[in-house]
Amino acid sequence: MVNPGTFRGTRKEFLKGELIAYARAVEGGYPIDGVALISRRYFKRYPVDLPLDEEPTPEHLAAVDDEEIELDEPAIDHTQLSLEEFIAEGFRREERAALIVYRQAVSLSYAVFDSEGIAHLPPANQTLAFLSLYEVPKP
């Protein structure tokens, strides 16, 4: 059986809709910033804690405000937690951070655009190049 991929449903449609924005960022010379903006928009719609096999409600998607500023997660207050709770919270945050990196790495693929702005994905027998938010371009 063929692997259906990680992203399905509205997630897949959202990412397909971002291909032009990503291509423009690449053409403009700021691919890392483009990936960051797309990732930000993606995680507003699909929180990292939402399982991949669960769709957000239409109400949640309709209420997304891309201009709203997100607050950073507060630092862990070790004075309010036992040692076991502190360690467990640290592991939870590490797992969440790893999940964010994974979803960013597999969610954006490079597309080639022709002079009319039409996307042409590489044939299925070619490897898609993935750009992580944390990838540093070489000079």
d(CA 51, CA 53): 5
Least confident of 32-36, 68-72, 125-129: 125-129
The residue segments making up the domain with residue 52 are 9-67+77-120
Q: Is 4 within the bounds of a domain?
A: no
**18: number of Cβ within 10 Å:** 20
Q: Is 131 within the bounds of a domain?
A: no
Query: How high is the mean pLDDT of the chain?
Result: 76
- The tokens describing 33, both together, are 């910033």
Tens-digit pLDDT profile for residues 52-83: 888 999 999 999 999 998 888 888 888 899 99
Per-residue pLDDT at 57: 93
Decide if pLDDT at 120 tops 70: no
Q: Is 54 within the bounds of a domain?
A: yes
Per-residue pLDDT at 3: 60
Q: Is 132 within the bounds of a domain?
A: no
Per-residue pLDDT at 83: 92
DSSP state of 6: S
3-state helix/strand/coil string of 12-39? HHHHHHCHHHHHHHHHHCCHHHHHHHHH
Q: Is 3 within the bounds of a domain?
A: no
Q: Which residue bears the tokens 């669960």?
A: 54
Least confident of 55-64, 87-96, 122-131: 122-131
Which pTM value belongs to this model? 0.64
Say if residues 22 and 125 touch (Cβ distance below 8 Å). Answer: no
Burial class (CB in 10 A: 0-12, 13-18, 19+), 32: middle
Per-residue pLDDT at 35: 85
d(CA 32, CA 131): 8
- The tokens describing 138, both together, are 């070489």
Tens-digit pLDDT profile for residues 35-52: 889 888 998 999 888 888
- Give the chain's domain count: 1
Would you place residue 138 in the very low, low, confident or very high pLDDT band (cuts 50, 70, 90)? very low
3-class state of residue 105 by DSSP: helix
Q: Is 138 within the bounds of a domain?
A: no
Q: What distance separates the 2 farthest-apart alpha carbons in the chain?
A: 60
